[in-house]
Structure 1
Amino acid sequence: MNDLYPKIVTLLPAATEIVCALGLEANLVGRSHECDFPETVKQLPVCSEANFPDNLSSDDIDVEVKEILADALSVYTVNREQIKQLAPDVVITQAQCEVCAVSLKEVEEALDDYLDKPVRIVSLQPNSLNDIFNDITTIANALNVTDAGVVLLEDLNERVDIIRHKLKYIDNKPTVACVEWLEPLMISGNWAPELVTIAGGTPILAEAGKHSPYVKWEDIKSLDPDIVLIMPCGFPIERTLKEIHLLLQLPGFNELKAVKNNRVYIADGNQYFNRPGPRIVDSIEILAEIIHPKQFIFGYEGSGWIKFAV
């Protein structure tokens, strides 16, 4: 550990990835139960847990989470004793989504007047790509590595600019339905529509900067998207494959343009898209590969996404 920098506990995967990308992995002393990248962070003490089983179906997870929130309870629990023992200087959490990770309220209630020393709580609330990049700056400044933040952002922006430049004179912008949840159906909002646009597509049924909406199957069907990308929040590809029948059984699914043209894809919704950290740019590159395969090959096919033959 570098003693010049603070001891850090991160309570959401994106923050863990940002801290590591800034070169401060050695200063991480604790993580959330969901933090799993880079692989080496898995050895850190776990400071949170979910208040529902992780083997539920999409529909059961949705019901369970709604019931927990309706009772004004938290979806996650912070392990106060663990954090007290770790004695961090900085705890990073989020206020963007109570379903996605430990909330700011939960952290404040858990740590208030409990720790033996003052601790700085850094809370992130991204809704756009620019917000995500600003969060990187916020964390870099809080951890006294401002210059490392500048370098990281220069690299990320350069990768985005390469895609923008290559698509500058391409007029074909296929419509894309990004499915964030299978039952009930949700379309990816927040930064996802912006990512689709950067990658040369036209997002449908969700607005950039706004929360992911629940939609009716008829809404998707009537718009008949050119591409269907299935990327449930928190689900790796293997988990999505186990629940893909929920889409396949919908009336008229096989009549979709995307199905007829073999343009249905599954992406890793755990590692990409739903983590507002450095790999959000990987997510743009994945979208570029899918939407404009003749222009882009970044090497994510088979790991970050697959084509699903209906």
Structure 2
Amino acid sequence: MTKYEKLIEELKSVNPEEAASLEEEIDIIVHKLKFLPIESFSNVVLLDQQKNFEPYTSSTIAEKVKIAGGNLISNLDSNADKIIIIQQDDSLYNILPSLLRKPEIRDSKAFTDNTIYIIYRSNFDKDDINYLSDTEILAEILQPKYFFYGRDGIDWVKFEIN
């Protein structure tokens, strides 16, 4: 059973309306993407500032990335199509120039294609209550032609290299 399915089951007993809403919204995302060819799903790596920019992986974040239209990869050597940096604090912008000079980032498809993003929502992937909003953030980043939730500039931003 996925994290998403567990959340729905838990919510059904506590708040059936919220469970139905979560299920409906996730189903809309899944339905919109089910007709896309597999090559439309970007390989994405998440780097967590809090964890010294090590690739961020967990079964829950992999599930959210998949629902949102991407494939989570666990290292930069896999030549990510998109790099998402999870910001912990404002010191990120002082560290970012040296981070972007690392060969595995500088030589990546994400760097070449200018597809590096920063999620600066402090509670990103921290609480189950944010499962839907986390997934919407990822959907806007990974499949911008299909999803617009108005979170760009509020919870995340595209980092312009040039």
TM-score category (smaller protein): 0.7 to 0.9
Secondary structure of the 1:192 match is helix
Gaps of 5+ in 1: 1-126, 206-218
Q: Aligned runs of 1:23-34 on 2, under 5 Å?
A: none
- Map of 1:225 onto structure 2: 80
Q: 1:169 to 1:132 in 2, by over 3 A?
A: same
Per-residue deviation, 1:224: 0.3
- Map of 1:157 onto structure 2: 23
**CA–CA distance in structure 2, aligned partners of residues 283 and 249 of structure 1:** 28
**CA–CA distance in structure 2, aligned partners of residues 240 and 157 of structure 1:** 35
**CA–CA distance in structure 2, aligned partners of residues 202 and 257 of structure 1:** 15
Asked if 2 retains the 8 angstrom alpha-carbon contact of 1:180 and 1:188, the reply is no
**CA–CA distance in structure 2, aligned partners of residues 288 and 254 of structure 1:** 24
**CA–CA distance in structure 2, aligned partners of residues 240 and 284 of structure 1:** 23
Q: 1:130 to 1:226 in 2, by over 3 A?
A: same
Per-residue deviation, 1:156: 0.9
**CA–CA distance in structure 2, aligned partners of residues 284 and 184 of structure 1:** 21
Per-residue deviation, 1:170: 0.6
**CA–CA distance in structure 1, aligned partners of residues 155 and 116 of structure 2:** 14
- Map of 2:35 onto structure 1: 169
- Map of 1:129 onto structure 2: 4
Q: Aligned runs of 1:16-165 on 2, under 5 Å?
A: 128-136=3-11, 146=14, 149-165=15-31
Per-residue deviation, 1:269: 4.5
**CA–CA distance in structure 1, aligned partners of residues 94 and 22 of structure 2:** 34
TM-score, normalising length: structure 2: 0.84
2:132 pairs with 267, 281, 287, which one?
A: 281
Percent of residue pairs identical: 26
Q: Which amino acid aligns with 1:196?
A: V
Q: Which amino acid aligns with 1:157?
A: E
**CA–CA distance in structure 2, aligned partners of residues 196 and 294 of structure 1:** 16
Q: Larger Rg: 1 or 2?
A: 1
Alignment root-mean-square deviation, CA: 2.2
Gaps of 5+ in 2: none
Q: 1:184 to 1:300 in 2, by over 3 A?
A: closer
Work out whether 1:264 is the aligned partner of 2:132: no
- Map of 2:47 onto structure 1: 179
Q: 1:188 to 1:252 in 2, by over 3 A?
A: closer
Q: 1:184 to 1:271 in 2, by over 3 A?
A: closer
Q: 1:168 to 1:241 in 2, by over 3 A?
A: same
Per-residue deviation, 1:150: 0.9
Work out whether 1:251 is the aligned partner of 2:116: no
TM-score, normalising length: structure 1: 0.46
Pick the structure with more helix per residue. Answer: 2
